[in-house]
Structure 1
Amino acid sequence: MKNLIQNTNKNVIARSDNDVSTSSHTDIAERKIGFKSSPFRGGFRRGFLLFFALLSLFAPEIKAQTKATWIWYPGDYEIWLSNKMQNRRTERGSFFPPFWKLDSHYVLTDFHKDFNLSAPEEAELMVEGQYNLKVDGKAFSGYPKRITLPAGKHRISLKVYNQGSVPAVFVKSANVVSDTSWKVTYEDKEWIDASGKTSDISATQYVPAGAWNFNEVTSLPSQFHLPTKAQKAVTTDKKAHSIFVDFGKETFGFVKLHNVIGKGKATIYYGESKEEAMSTDGGELVDQLEINQPQNGDITYDGSRAFRYVNVVYDDAVSMDEVSMLYEYSPVEQRGSFKCSDEQINKIWEVSAYTMELNTREFFIDGIKRDRWVWSGDAAQSYLMNYYLYFDSPTVTRTISALRGKDPVTSHINTIMDYTFYWFISIYDYYQHTGDKTFIQQSYQRMQTMMDYCLARRNKDGLMQGLTGDWVFIDWADGLSKQGEVSIEQMLFCRSLETMALCADIMHDGKAAAQYSSQAKDLKEKLFTYYWDAQKHALVHSRMNGKPTDNVTRYANMFGIFFNYFTEAQKQEVKKYVLMNDKIQKITTPYMRFYELEALCAMGEQDYVLKQMKDYWGGMLNLGATSFWEEYNPDKKGAEHYAMYGRPFGKSLCHAWGASPIYLLGKYYLGVKPTGPGYQTYLVEPQLGGLKWMEGTVPTPNGDIKLSITTSQIKLSAATGIGTIRVKSKTKPVCSNATVKMVSAGLYEVSTQKGKDYTIKYTAI
């Protein structure tokens, strides 16, 4: 069912059956709060805002599909599928469930569609669940698979019950098809009077149906699975009662045993490293099989696993010939690319892309060996990498929806305070990159209730502090304090409030926008009043009992740079006294190296960051990594690199947050980022960072931006938007088909249009 992976869900929240919220395409990305991807400023920017605002008046917000697709209550399929996926985790054969509350889909839903036909039509129906079918309130007997839709104005409705999987509907006639224009509710507040007449007044709230692209009647949503393809081992070491195979690199899928015969036991030991696969008592993943095969045959173990090495040990009465696998993957298209003059950086980009491939499944997961769960902090980084590699919006929205779950809110997302804040921020990042306003509209009510939960948990000073049941994570780091009011939590909370204000604007909820903006402003003032230490030239790490601590860490300080919370002078202080200061505790996880290096890139330190990438990610490659790890400390030796969580092989050697060079090289070296939603406008600010040349492709919602950069020339072609190329040059650059504008001494800009090729010649500074 490869066709699942493309999303067709263009939903908005409906206040009632006939009241659907819509809003303009006005770019509100700044609101004078300095959002991460800042749009154009001043009169030039305001002109664009007016243009897009006027344009939106003629652009309908919801577009119905032209063909039939399976539909359901929006978000329910994501919750159901994520529950199914996240409960596959095992450790040495034992079931290992998630740490947090799991919500469920609505088991009884009501769908309807109003139609107007000039002539009767035959319609086919397929439903997942028990169902009641009506036209104009008149029920059909039984479970019809085909009906005649009458001419004229009518309403078709289906009420569906399904406890085991999501209630879903497929309807298809010549002019009436199930799509996202159908309305659905999980509650039916209709009532009847003594005569049996149904009321014509209802308090029921309907929303547009959810869908992906199960566009065939036989493509049952409940039967979805990722595709697989056969792969052979690179090397095989067969002994009397064991087979040890190496697939050459980290991989994921189902182990297949060939020409198996006999009766007895076989044990499969998996390993991301050779040492792990050889360790019969210390490896993370072990499966035991009962073999009862009187004749030769193949056995594929029904459980997907992560491994590079597989060690199969079997009883005397059992024999087999070889071990292969079925590689399981998400068939997303890799649209982004990067190549440069440094072969090690090319290898780092390629391994980063492969790491993302492995961790892009039904959802963006943390790592393929151990958890295989949807963690919000991990996913927030995967979204950003995705925008420069796949630009696969459906996997983003699936993951965001699955993480949020349903009301009422009883805990932070994944129980982690900072992960809740990353969830908020990732929604607006999604809007900036895709321009998909309908997803904001669909998510807004759940954003509000999630924020209500956070606001209710502030302490007397209006700050966020870990309460009973809260996990304050921040990062894996020895001795890192999580006590008191931690500055990075306030930083992320402030950005979340700003995000809520922006989304409230999109929803035309002016009262809420003003409230969230005021709360964000107040918190930002407290952030600097309580935590900024002028003598330390930085924000301190935390506040205990109303007093700031002396400890300075990198976390809040690096976020403050690319959140644009600091003045230019403060940025320079933080760079010197924190980010470039070896006395400040170093970061050893790719998770937070992601943000540390982003802050340095935002400060123009591409030369330094390139060396850091070569040292850090190159260090993993030098140790034989074929995908990037959950944590890397160059001071460790040998098998120490595999240990984590008190277990000899507890570390994930394929972790999504290890793939951050994709994002850094795309955004800060090729220099491409959106400045208006969905790349309506965008900025290209190339930085070679010591490279002699580089070239690459950055995907967008409506085509690719292709770049080639040397020390004297920039070539660009773009299939979308209005771009601005920003060039640093000793002399005024030359471009034959565009005007070169001087911004300041040594800095120039060239405006570009879609569908045209540009060549800019310049003199590097």
Structure 2
Amino acid sequence: MKRYLVFLSLLTWAFTTVTNAQLPPVFKQPIATGLKKDPRVRYYLPPERMIWRSDATGKYIQHADRLLKVGNGQAELVNKDLTVLKNDKSSKTGFLIDFGKEIFGGLQITTGLMRTKTPVKVRVRFGESVTEAMSDVGGTDGATNDHAMRDFIIELPWLGGLEVGNTGFRFVRIDLLEADTELLLKEVSAIFMYRDIPYLGSFHSDDERLNQIWATGAYTVHLNMQQYLWDGIKRDKLVWIGDMHPEMMVINSVFGYNEVVPMSLDLAKAATPLPAWMNGISSYSMWWVLIQRDWYLHQGDMKYLQLQRQYLIGLLKQLMTKIKDGKEALDGNRFLDWPSSENKPAIHAGLQAMLVMTLTAGSELCHILKEAETARACDEAVAILKKNVPDIAESKQAAALLALAGLLPAEQANTILSKDSTRGFSTFYGYYMLQAKAMAGDYQGAINNIRDYWGGMLDLGATTFWEDFDLSWKENAGRIDEIVPKDKVDVHATYGAYCYKNLRHSLAHGWAAGPTSWLTTHVLGIKVMAPGCKVVKIEPHLGDLKSVSGSFPTPFGLIKVNHLKMPDGKIKTTVDAPKQVKIIK
């Protein structure tokens, strides 16, 4: 009895941080609060196709297509409908399967009643592309196990099952390793882990390519809404605050309020006592302020905003000490995005603009928090900064930020942004380039950029948007969902730079989803004008589209909008909105 009480005491201590968890009745003692129950669900998915097998004769691999059936994950005492893999002294057997769409999770492998009870060694390789799943860690292709194990050896049990993996993938290769070995496989299912939340926002137009781009951006962010809001589900399973801004804007447009945003903001704040910069990057601390402003604008959560008061004011005061002679003098890692990282004048221009944007947002938040003195100091600092407009340095990143900060006429910035189409775009800052084009009234140009640039990834087989991309990569390129022919360029193994070279390149990166929010804001035309969506402006810009409809989540319910272009070019609009939301046109 004493041991049982000690056991219960230890369990109580272990669960001192559990909330909202439905524990079994055996746990009689009260559980203190703190740690949250995992908000995710798991689904088990069968493969959609067998892409490759080492043996097509039936000698070493038998009944491979049986792995494509829907299973139940349960080992059974009868060997029925199994896939058989055999190695002799000279052969090595393996196969590659496709689950049809990028997911986050792992594998459930179920085995049969084998002749020997000795565990069977297999090598498992996950891949976001076919090439990655067929690659070796440490090779010239750049494949790694960074942040997530995607290439490893495991032992499978006799008549049982095993669940492994915690990464982003679509493709899986499994190899039987030891000589003179037989493996009976009943099932190989993907474990799909995600937050089971509804897609409240929607976007439908007469252009299916734009519809698919909107949906792909929404899905890319959804995959990254795990315990926290990650930047990538394979590499960069981390909370990068700057990268969160476009993700947060997509969440506002598609899912509405979700705890993953404030949880991630708070995680970064707790890990970064002032005067440190979030993620070691000064601009990322500025993005924290901008996210707080845009999150409050959409969600109107005053209680949460008040909890940020002390840190927010301290950060704003710190930022104001980084102004010298009317120019930003930010320290830490001076970074905008990777493609601009070697252009120091562009970085200075971008940081000058970001400081203006951040202190402007800080002033707005301080007025809401009734911190008049700090708000006034922010306004005075902005006035000083605006007297100095740095050179664009032929950078689309700098041009976009300068326009958004009001330091450069948007029309002038758009001449830079429109040069050579999407050359110089990045999947991260492409969102701000689109925003600047909208400020210039170039909605059609932005729509075309979205079709070409983000659509270009879809043309290569993407089901999620990538860490980086350039339209030139499409030239003579093979698809990522195929074994690349020798006369084609292998996009995943060939391209990439900086920290995302070759197969280290993430193909499901949340910062790349900006067009989803942009299409909702500017084409569907839903713009939040007052905190908590209490006032929303409907102003569509259809460009060459004939019709657009969709929905937008607010704290009070959905706004539903339908636009139809009439023969005279005018747009007929119908709006259905909650009574608490004032609609202006």
Would you say same fold, with TM above 0.5?
A: yes
Which residue of structure 2 aligns with residue 434 of structure 1?
A: 299
Which residue of structure 1 aligns with residue 490 of structure 2?
A: 639
Q: Give the alignment partner of residue 574 of structure 2, picking from 705, 715, 719.
A: 715
Q: Give the alignment partner of residue 347 of structure 1, picking from 205, 212, 234.
A: 212
Q: Give the alignment partner of residue 256 of structure 1, picking from 89, 94, 108.
A: 108
CA drift at 1:582: 3.3
**Number of paired residues?**
495
SS at match of 2:106: strand
CA drift at 1:328: 0.3
SS at match of 1:653: coil
Which residue of structure 1 aligns with residue 460 of structure 2?
A: 623
Which residue of structure 2 aligns with residue 673 of structure 1?
A: 527
Whichever residue aligns with residue 434 of structure 2, its letter is: L
Whichever residue aligns with residue 682 of structure 1, its letter is: V
After superposition, the Cα gap between the structure-2 partners of 1:721 and 1:256, relative to the gap in structure 1 and judged at 3 Å, is: same
Q: Distance in 1 between matches of 2:341 and 2:286?
A: 23
Tell whether the 8 Å contact from 1:341 to 1:693 is kept in structure 2 after alignment: yes
Which residue of structure 1 aligns with residue 263 of structure 2?
A: 398
Is 1:454 the counterpart of 2:316? The answer is no
% identity of equivalent residues: 25
- Partner deviation per Cα, 1:109-131 (whole Å, 9 max, x = no partner): xxxxxxxxxxxxxxxxxxxxx9x
Which residue of structure 2 aligns with residue 613 of structure 1?
A: 450
TM-score by length of 1: 0.60
Is 1:699 the counterpart of 2:579? The answer is no
Gaps of 5+ in 1: 1-129, 131-141, 146-159, 171-215, 532-539, 542-550, 727-765
Tell whether the 8 Å contact from 2:528 to 2:535 is kept in structure 1 after alignment: yes
After superposition, the Cα gap between the structure-2 partners of 1:432 and 1:647, relative to the gap in structure 1 and judged at 3 Å, is: closer
After superposition, the Cα gap between the structure-2 partners of 1:225 and 1:646, relative to the gap in structure 1 and judged at 3 Å, is: closer
Q: Give the alignment partner of residue 512 of structure 2, picking from 630, 651, 658.
A: 658
Q: Distance in 2 between matches of 1:408 and 1:220?
A: 22
CA drift at 1:488: 0.9
Q: Give the alignment partner of residue 278 of structure 1, picking from 124, 134, 137.
A: 134
SS at match of 2:344: coil
Tell whether the 8 Å contact from 2:362 to 2:375 is kept in structure 1 after alignment: yes
Which residue of structure 2 aligns with residue 559 of structure 1?
A: 401
CA drift at 1:454: 3.1
SS at match of 1:221: coil
CA drift at 1:634: 1.8
Tell whether the 8 Å contact from 1:228 to 1:326 is kept in structure 2 after alignment: yes
CA drift at 1:690: 0.7
CA drift at 1:466: 5.1
TM-score by length of 2: 0.78
SS at match of 2:40: coil
Q: Distance in 2 between matches of 1:508 and 1:708?
A: 39
Q: Distance in 2 between matches of 1:484 and 1:244?
A: 45
Which residue of structure 2 aligns with residue 516 of structure 1?
A: 378
CA drift at 1:485: 7.1
Larger radius of gyration between Structure 1 and Structure 2: 1
Q: Distance in 1 between matches of 2:37 and 2:521?
A: 38
Tell whether the 8 Å contact from 1:335 to 1:699 is kept in structure 2 after alignment: yes
Whichever residue aligns with residue 518 of structure 2, its letter is: L
Q: Give the alignment partner of residue 542 of structure 2, picking from 688, 698, 711.
A: 688
Tell whether the 8 Å contact from 2:346 to 2:395 is kept in structure 1 after alignment: no
**Where do 1:98-177 residues align within 5 Å?**
none
Q: Give the alignment partner of residue 155 of structure 2, picking from 270, 291, 299.
A: 291
Which residue of structure 2 aligns with residue 505 of structure 1?
A: 367
- Partner deviation per Cα, 1:649-707 (whole Å, 9 max, x = no partner): 01111111222221111000111111111111110001111101110001111111111
Tell whether the 8 Å contact from 2:129 to 2:492 is kept in structure 1 after alignment: no
Whichever residue aligns with residue 433 of structure 1, its letter is: H
SS at match of 1:649: helix
CA drift at 1:461: 2.8
SS at match of 2:328: coil
Which residue of structure 1 aligns with residue 66 of structure 2?
A: none
Tell whether the 8 Å contact from 1:245 to 1:323 is kept in structure 2 after alignment: no
Q: Distance in 2 between matches of 1:328 and 1:312?
A: 21
Which residue of structure 1 aligns with residue 94 of structure 2?
A: 242
Is 1:575 the counterpart of 2:427? The answer is no
Q: Greater relative contact order: 1 or 2 (C-alpha under 8 angstroms, separation 6 or more)? A: 2
Which residue of structure 1 aligns with residue 168 of structure 2?
A: 306
**Where do 1:359-378 residues align within 5 Å?**
359-378=224-243
Let me know the Cα RMSD of the aligned residues. Answer: 3.0
* Structure (1 or 2) with the greater strand fraction: 1
Tell whether the 8 Å contact from 1:444 to 1:503 is kept in structure 2 after alignment: no
Which residue of structure 2 aligns with residue 230 of structure 1?
A: 44
Q: Distance in 1 between matches of 2:32 and 2:274?
A: 36
Deviates more, 1:216-225 or 1:704-713: 216-225
CA drift at 1:217: 6.0
After superposition, the Cα gap between the structure-2 partners of 1:647 and 1:615, relative to the gap in structure 1 and judged at 3 Å, is: closer
Tell whether the 8 Å contact from 1:465 to 1:484 is kept in structure 2 after alignment: no
Q: Distance in 1 between matches of 2:36 and 2:399?
A: 46
* Structure (1 or 2) with the greater helix fraction: 2
Tell whether the 8 Å contact from 2:109 to 2:188 is kept in structure 1 after alignment: yes
Which residue of structure 2 aligns with residue 332 of structure 1?
A: 197
**Where do 1:36-115 residues align within 5 Å?**
none
CA drift at 1:598: 1.3
Tell whether the 8 Å contact from 1:588 to 1:631 is kept in structure 2 after alignment: no
**Where do 1:589-600 residues align within 5 Å?**
589-600=426-437
After superposition, the Cα gap between the structure-2 partners of 1:677 and 1:275, relative to the gap in structure 1 and judged at 3 Å, is: same
After superposition, the Cα gap between the structure-2 partners of 1:222 and 1:450, relative to the gap in structure 1 and judged at 3 Å, is: same
After superposition, the Cα gap between the structure-2 partners of 1:582 and 1:245, relative to the gap in structure 1 and judged at 3 Å, is: closer
Whichever residue aligns with residue 194 of structure 2, its letter is: Y
